[in-house]
Structure 1
Amino acid sequence: MIKTEISQNFTRKTLGLTILLSAAAMAFAQEKVSITGKVTDKQNNPVAYASVTYSHPTNKLLSDATLTDENGQYSLQVAPGVYTVGIEAIDFKPFTAAGRQVRGGTVETIMLDPEQSATITPTQNIEGVTITATARPYRVELDKKTYDPSTDVISKGGNLQDVLQNVPSVSVDTDGTVSMRGNSNVRFLINGKPSALLGIDDGANALQSIPADQIERIEVITNPSSKFEASGTAGILNIILKKNKRVGFNGSVTGTVGYLPNTNLNTNLSWRRGNATWFVNGGGGYRENKGENNNYATFDNRGIAQQLLTSNAESENNNEMKNYNATAGLVYDFTDKTSANISISTRSFQGDSEGTVSTAMTYNGIDNSNTSTLYPLQKIRTTLGNNENKALQADFGVDHKIGDKGQNISVSVSLQKNQSEGINDITETRNGAYFRLDETLQNTENSTVIGKVDYELPLGENAKIEAGYRFDRNVNDYDYAVWNEGIVNPDFTSVTNYKEMFNAFYVQFKSRIGEKFAYQLGLRDEISKVDVDFRNLTSQEPAISKSYNNLFPSVFFSYDLAQNNQLLLNYSRRINRPRSWFLVPFNSYNDSDNIFSGNPDLNPSYVNSFELGYSLQKRKITLNPTLYFNHEEDETQMVNLYNFERQRFETKPYNIGNEQRYGLDLNFTYDPISWLKLMGNVDLFGYRSEGEFTYNSLVDGVATPVTLSFNGEGFSTRARLNTTFKVDRTFTMQLQGFFRGGQKTDTSKQDPMYALNFGASKTIWDGNGTFSFNIQDIFNTRNRTFYTFGEGFERKSYMQWMPRQFSLSFTYRFRQGDRVDQPRNKKDINSNAGGEDEMPPM
């Protein structure tokens, strides 16, 4: 209670200070103006994806950079003044124009000389040095990395999960689990906020339902600032979806076919006329996959002298999935200072699955000395399942520029609804004879309301204050039922209501000291409350209520060692709140040999994260090594135990103790020659964890407390290399290799894994059509082998989520507009929806 009052007083004082500074600094703010232009070659052909930089000679905070689109057009906003313009593109000589006066509404066409030319033809009366912002698949900013998937040939015609496999510092496991630097506690955002499009559980199915062609960029935020929510100890992946800005009617359509059977059809359409911009993104698809999961376990003798129980379970799953998605929106500029936006999104997913688990259990492999009629035991479980998920989301927002000094205020509201229903029929035979029919039903509903207010106040030419408030309310209802031979199983049938509410306030200040040093200081206060009410047919469990009030500071520093040569140092504090189903104590029953249950006593984990990075950007190479250290308190781990009384594995989350992770995360690009591009990521990391937990072990029906200690340390690596071969201007090939080293603790071990992918792309019809072909996992090696060492047992698990597959896609682009228009206000609908727009490099 005292902490809450202190936090509320602090928030009121902070917001009051912001308002006071706003009034004091109006006269020093800078208003930005729009600049549009086009880059061509000497034959007036457009130069696509050229880097365009407007660099202020004395204040880098005012500088900005962008890339040209397929038509060679670009648009950006800067404050009025004198700039140096730099343009770079592959196969062309760099262009430099110093002393360029910007007053607003600037429109020009710049022609580039081919790289073979001996001289550079400058614009008249312009001279100066080159300021480069090389066109790369990703760029480094003060508080994030931004990845552009437009050059990723391998994921063409694929989905978000395919794109993430090529994003620096990100790994996708064989079961679809996404991790950053080895930590799977990743927070996903769509356009800057949680989204119903990702489903209730942010699972692999949701990632597969978002087409790659609808993704504009991915922001990798390993150490988020105070402006972002504090959830996700690994960091944030912010997925920005496309919204076309060209005048007139424009769009593209992409169709894909592949094997394992895979068909998709997606489109992006937009129409801009006058003050209004309409856009529609949508599509659907069908795909099949099949997976394999084998478990081999050995147990200490249990009741029979010198006998060793072994269990060998082999499972195969075949799935058919259909997904449909659509987003429609409108951006309307009422005046030069005020615009509003509205968008509605829907997603539908349906999956049918068939799985077989064959389990052989014996003593010493035979039963010659086994007097029990139970062994040898051959169990076969066949599961027929159906799962449906529907999501609906509506977003509203208003942007308003206050006065003419650069102040902005944005207000947004997001309403989301998600429903998921899964049905499974499980038939089991034992030693060839029918044993039992089990049926399960899971129905989950989620309702979310998110409201945000964000305010920006420039303070002179070098500083800015940002402040805001965010409100989140989530309600989840879980209804789970199990029938054994038509009779309700009271131990597994349960109903749970989960409610969470968050109030968050943030303020951050960024500025420069001199020409080389920039900094950003932030503080976020999150007040959260969680209420869970659960019951099954046998008992009403005590409801739980958890409240947290935490401060999350963030600090970012950058120092310019030389041109395009920076040191970056930052710190932030994060939280990992238990997911809703992690708190529900009732068991899941899809596999009677492997049971999962939540832990109502689970508490949040907190992490302190430090990073020291270096950023080098040259014409042919970019280099971004980052040293990092994370210390996590009350770390949450999944603990796998064997219940000998009930003869099954049971998995449950516990707060184990503390964990430290440290390492070197190196990202680089290198263009040694005009037709060859290399992009790589190497993560060398160490880890150490220690702690203990206590659980109740059932022996002869008696619960006995058992305390287990966890200690693990080691060193491992992950590496990815993406090689792009440009055969000519219209034909590109790409080869991607991935390696993940093994890891080991006292209770587990994971074998190394590697995979190789291939892609090719051919452009036709003057750039209006593109064929793409790719093969995922050429050698069919993408699998996981995992060992678990528990109390009285050892288990080896093998898993392959999806075997080798290939696909062919075709994209057709149609467009009317020759000019790219920037919205009249600073933010477009995507950035406004989340309230967390891009910050220019400092």
Structure 2
Amino acid sequence: MKKLQTSLVLLLLLCTSIMFSQSKAKVSGQVIEQDTKQPLEFATVTIQTTDNQTVSGGLTDINGKYSIDVPPGTYNIKFDFISFKSTAIKSKAITGNTNLGVTLMAPDATLLNEIEIVADRSTVDIKLDKRVYNVGKDMIVRGGSVSDVLDNVPSISVDPDGNVSLRGNDGVTILIDGRPSNLAGSNVAEVLRLLPAESVEKVEVITNPSARYDAEGGGGIVNIILRKGKANGFNGSVVASTGYPDNHGLNANLNYRSDNYNLFSNLGYSYRSSPGNFSTDSEYFDEEGNTTNFVNERRDYERERQGYNASFGADIFLNKTTTWTNSINVRDNDGENPTETYYDYFFADGSFDETRYRYNLEEEESDNIQFSSSLLKKFNDEGHKLDVNLSLAKSNDYEKAQIDDIVIGTTTPEVDNIFQRTLSDEEEDRALAQVDYVLPFGEGSQFEAGYRGSFLELTTDAQTETLENDIWIIDPNFSSLLEYKENVNAFYAQYGSKIGKFSYLLGLRWEDSDIEVNLLDREDFNTKKYNNFFPSAFLSYEFSEGTNASISYSRRINRPRGWFINPFSSLVSNINIFTGNPDLDPSMTDAMEVGFLKKWNKVTLSSTAYVNITKDVYQFVRRESGEFFTQVVGGEDIVNDNNEVIEVIDGEDVRTPIILTSPVNLAKQYRYGFEFDVNYNPYRWWRINGNFNFFKNQIDGDYTYTNFLGETIVQNFDNSNYSWFTRVNSRVSLPLDINWQLNARYTGPRENAQSRYKGIFSADTAISKDILNERATISLNVRDILNSRKRKLTNTLPQVESYTEMQWRERQITLSFTYRFNPSKADKNQEQRGNQQGDGGDFMGK
């Protein structure tokens, strides 16, 4: 009853606000920076009576604009923004709708030192529609990779395999500077490990994008924005790092800006070794459920990588309203991954049989080049603009492996030992064209429309050969020539407006998809053509300054790519094999959210309740392949007086089933959850950020297939489970310019129809000190202090039950030195303010 009364009161207040809105006057205008003429987002506008009693207020939007309703009267109007001198309009008579025009705000030099400390601490900016994670001062990721950066972002998790998920949903689109950046065909997790953390300026997390965004990614969008200086003159930074296990790198961000152009570059070199380990204990059963044998698998990785990356670009200011930007990015990486695997075989009674040793030496070469060009035309200062973008990219990935599989201590290698080699040659070409048009009109209204064309062609030639009688024979089961073509043309339009404290945004996106998945070596051609509408709707209400509520809906799509559809797989293991599914269909997601944002003096709270309903969701399933790995046990070698084998008496054949893991489309997935983000600054020297996410995952669907005996098998995947994860980030500024940072995270247990995952706890820490008059910083960080970040799970099938532990990377210690080229603290803070205003995200946002 109490909840009902509260709801009625709120409804009455809303109705009253609408009824009396006609008796109020609208005060509007724009706030810009005096020196750069750039709009100031989130500047505070306070409307007070002449005796300084606050009547109303609000914040400026991304274009520095504001619109506030007040009763007619005479007011003092005050403008405030961090590190700027306050500005006020005294005794302004408001008799009707009034546009105050442009208000200029000048930096306050006396506050620069103080503001530098504040900006240094503000690593997470919580907004109503997204969260922005500023990387600049995060000590824990220094000397690391982009994958390490993402692992410290609220709502994002990077599992021990390096896969990225958002709120526990792995259907995430990863963009770099708003572009796919050749991540479609490649292993995204591997690409993110190759890019240095120092090249990242900030990460934008958008959990429920509007129609202006690419519809790809049922779980949301993560946009990685690379560094690009904004301060006039020459500025930048150089970071040198070293660590154990081997983690050495040198990265430079250099920038020169004048009134006519802006030159920017990012150069980097890295050499990393990421040792990891894997273990699986398996018990195998016959058709009656009786134990046949046991196999314990132990694997150690090295993952050595050496890479170079370079980007060069220029903003050319053709005139005051037109900017032409061109950039080129080059990446070259080489690596090898020697993997040692031991298989201990046991009889059904648990007695030891034999040990097999499998050595897999993988060598990899990867290079990528991308050219981007964009033209931005601003017709006026009100936000009327046209943005045209073009991006062309090409990448090549070449990987080969030599596999030796032997029985330890055998005297008959021609019988027991296996020698194989694999080859994978992947070429990808991508083109992206985009046009966006924005037209503001009226008071607080805006129309947007645009086109996006994405064109991808990927060819993967994979071969596996086995040595038989000194001749290499191709194994057709693990060889394929895959051609993947994807052409997507999209058009969108959306309209948004603000009425009093209400804001709404309605949009519609249409995408036409033409997909080809062709196995050329098997003459198996599969074409998928479809077009879809993707509507979106957003409604928000501002209760007061710093207090907002919103509700939103959008439709999304997940298209399977890369290793999801490639039938070839790595043969690191010969009894547990992953293989892609070329016949995967896209999955469609309906996403709904209700959000609430509240800002106090020292606390910012963002909470969201969400529901995702996905059709044709794909999930990894394990099944028997119908093939077996066979070894002879109990045999006897007859030797002569010289200990030479002259006869072999065969023993009993023991067959271990080969288990395949593949992604398949299931019927439907329901995800319900809620999330809290809290920023708390108890003192000027202490900042705490916490994130908590709780969700329910429900799968309704069956998986039907025909096994190797011709039998139709139906696996029921109906499953409902709860899971959660949380993280806390604490940063303390100590005397003598010393900073200390501590991160802790816990991922709760979860399960599906075949697997049960245990919870994972891990922690990172770092300490740094500014030196050389704050132009340089030396820092020491330790990732995974307890060496506890391991994925632990139990898999259950009728043929086998296994327990697995997997640690992608062991504990890492890194020492780094950063030197900054900054003309002055004023320029430094100007750049930090520019970062907060969101440069670089416009392309992605359309």
TM-score, reference length from structure 1: 0.84
Alignment of 1:409-428 (within 5 A): 409-428=386-405
Tell me how far apart the structure 2 counterparts of residues 33 and 409 of structure 1 sit (CA, whole Å). Answer: 22
Q: For 1:327, which of 311, 314, 317 is the aligned residue? A: 311
What is the deviation of 1:830? 3.2
From 311, 314, 326, the equivalent of 2:295 is 311
Which residue of 58, 63, 71 maps to 2:60? 63
Kindly indicate whether residue 79 of structure 2 is the aligned counterpart of residue 85 of structure 1.
Answer: yes
Asked if 1:774 corresponds to 2:784, the answer is: no
Task: Output one character per residue of 1:287-345: Cα deviation in whole Å (capped at 9) or x when no partner.
Answer: 11111111111121369x95432111111111211111111001111111211010000
* Displacement of 1:726: 1.2
Using the TM superposition, name which of 375-384 and 284-293 deviates more.
375-384
Q: Match of 1:35, as an amino acid?
A: E
Offset of residue 36 of structure 1: 4.2
How far 1:404 sits from its partner (Å)?
Answer: 6.6
Measure the CA separation in 1 of the matches of 2:389 and 2:599. 36
Name the residue aligned to 1:99: 89
Cα distance between partner residues in 2 of 1:471 and 1:827: 28
Match of 1:145 among 131, 143, 162: 131
Quote the residue 1:596 is aligned against: 578
Partners of 2:263 and 2:313 within 8 A in 1: yes
**Residue number in structure 2 paired with 1:221:** 206
Alignment of 1:278-427 (within 5 A): 278-301=263-286, 307-366=291-350, 376-402=353-379, 406-427=383-404
| C-alpha separation in 1, matches of 2:750 and 2:838 | 44
1:237 aligned to which of 204, 222, 230 = 222
Q: What is the identity, as a one-letter code, of the residue corresponding to 1:355?
A: T
Q: Which residue of 2 aligns with 1:172?
A: 158
User: Does 1:459 find its partner at 2:444?
Assistant: no
- 1:522 is paired with a residue of what secondary structure? strand
- Change beyond 3 A, Cα 1:564–1:313: same
Whole-angstrom CA distance in 1 between matches of 2:187 and 2:67: 44
Once the 2 structures are TM-superposed, how far is the Cα of residue 624 of structure 1 from its aligned partner?
0.7
C-alpha change, 1:60 and 1:707, in structure 2 (3 Å) is farther
1:183 equivalent in structure 2: 169
Cα shift readout 1:515-555 (whole Å, capped 9, x = no counterpart): x111111111111010122133xxx3430100111111111
Distance 1:585 1:208, change over 3 A: closer
In 1, Cα distance between equivalents of 2:568 and 2:739 = 53
Query: Which residue of 492, 505, 518 maps to 1:506?
Result: 492
Give 1:587 deviation, angstroms.
5.5
Look up the SS of the partner of 1:575 in the other structure. Answer: strand
Query: Once the two structures are superposed, what CA deviation does each residue of 1:440-483 show, in whole Å capped at 9, x if it has no partner?
Result: 00000000000000000001231111111000100000101111
Go from structure 1 to structure 2 and tell me whether the alpha carbon gap of 1:264 and 1:51 turns closer, same or farther (over 3 Å shift): farther
How far off its partner does 1:703 sit?
A: 2.4
Q: Distance in 2 between matches of 1:487 and 1:765?
A: 63
Which of 643, 651, 659 is the equivalent residue of 2:669? 659
Equivalent pair of 2:121/2:687 in contact (CA under 8 Å): no
Matched, 1:109 2:108: yes
Other-structure match for 1:4:
none
In the alignment, structure 1 residue 471 sits paired with structure 2 residue 453: yes
Equivalents in 1 of 2:57, 2:398: separation in Å? 53
What is the 5 A alignment of 1:795-814? Answer: 795-814=802-821
The answer to whether the 8 Å contact 1:554/1:573 transfers is yes
Q: Secondary structure, in 3 states, of the residue corresponding to 1:766? A: coil
CA distance in 2, matches of 1:643, 1:382: 23
1:31 CA drift (Å): 10
Give the distance between the partners of 2:172 and 2:381, measured in 1 at CA: 39
Alignment of 1:671-686 (within 5 A): 671-686=681-696
Q: In 2, Cα distance between the equivalents of 1:510 and 1:441?
A: 52
Report if the CA contact (8 A) 2:430-2:454 is conserved: yes
- Which residue of 264, 272, 275 corresponds with 2:249? 264
Structure 2 residue aligned with 1:544:
526
Quick check: 1:504–1:525 contact (8 Å CA) kept in 2? Answer: yes
Q: Which stretch shifts more, 467-476 or 153-162?
A: 153-162
Kindly name which structure, 1 or 2, has the bigger radius of gyration based on alpha carbons. Answer: 2
Once the two structures are superposed, the pairs formed by residues 716-755 of structure 1 within 5 Å of their partners are: 716-728=723-735, 730-755=737-762
Contact residue 51 and residue 134 of structure 1 kept, 8 A: no
In 1, the alpha carbon distance for the partners of 2:276 and 2:389 equals 42
Q: How many residues align?
A: 750
2:579/2:662 contact within 8 Å kept? yes
Distance 1:587 1:810 in 2: 40
Q: Give the Cα–Cα distance (whole angstroms) in 1 for the partners of residues 495 and 557 of structure 2.
A: 22
CA distance in 1, matches of 2:669, 2:325: 44
Summarize the alignment of residues 426-825 of structure 1 with structure 2, pairs less than 5 Å apart. Answer: 426-433=403-410, 434=413, 435-485=417-467, 486-514=472-500, 516-536=501-521, 540-585=522-567, 588-646=570-628, 647-698=657-708, 702-728=709-735, 730-816=737-823, 819=827, 820=830
Q: Deviations over 1:571-627 (max 9, x none)?
A: 111111121443344565443222222323321111111111111112211111111
**Distance (Å, rounded) in 1 between the aligned partners of 2:147 and 2:476:** 38
* Equivalent AA in structure 2 for residue 423 of structure 1: K
Question: Are the equivalent residues in 1 in contact too, given 2:121–2:137 (CA < 8 A)?
Answer: no
Q: 1:810 to 1:441 in 2, by over 3 A?
A: same
CA contact (8 A) 2:85 2:108 kept: no
Output the amino acid matched with 2:695. Answer: F
Q: Deviations over 1:806-841 (max 9, x none)?
A: 1111111113365558999x9998346x2528xxxx
Match of 2:33 in 1: 35
How far the C-alpha of 1:761 sits from its partner, in A, is 1.6
Distance change (3 Å), C-alpha of 1:822 and 1:619 = closer
AA matched with 1:254: V
TM-aligned CA distance change 1:224 to 1:650, over 3 Å: same
Partner amino acid for 2:529?
S
Paired residue secondary structure (1:151): coil
Check the 8 A contact 2:370/2:394 in 1, yes or no. yes
Report % sequence identity.
Answer: 32
Point out which structure has higher relative CO (alpha carbons under 8 A, 6+ apart): 1
Structure 1 residues not aligned, in runs of 5+: 1-27, 39-49, 66-75, 116-131, 368-374, 838-842
SS in 1 for 2:198: helix
Q: Is the 8 A contact 1:37 1:109 kept in 2?
A: no
Secondary structure of 2:195 counterpart: coil
Aligned equivalents of 1:275 and 1:113: distance in 2?
Answer: 27
Report the Cα distance in structure 2 between the residues aligned to 1:775 and 1:552, rounded to whole angstroms: 44
Q: Provide the secondary structure at the position in 1 that maps to 2:190.
A: helix
Deviation at 1:728, TM superposition (A): 2.9
Structure 1 residue 163: Cα displacement: 1.2
Return closer, same or farther for 1:83/1:239 CA change in 2, 3 Å cut-off: farther
| TM-score, length basis structure 2 | 0.83
Structure 2 regions of 5+ residues with no counterpart? Answer: 1-25, 48-54, 69-75, 91-99, 629-656
The one-letter code sitting in structure 1 at the alignment partner of 2:576 is N
Pair 1:544–1:269, CA change in 2 (3 A): same
Q: Which amino acid aligns with 1:484?
A: T
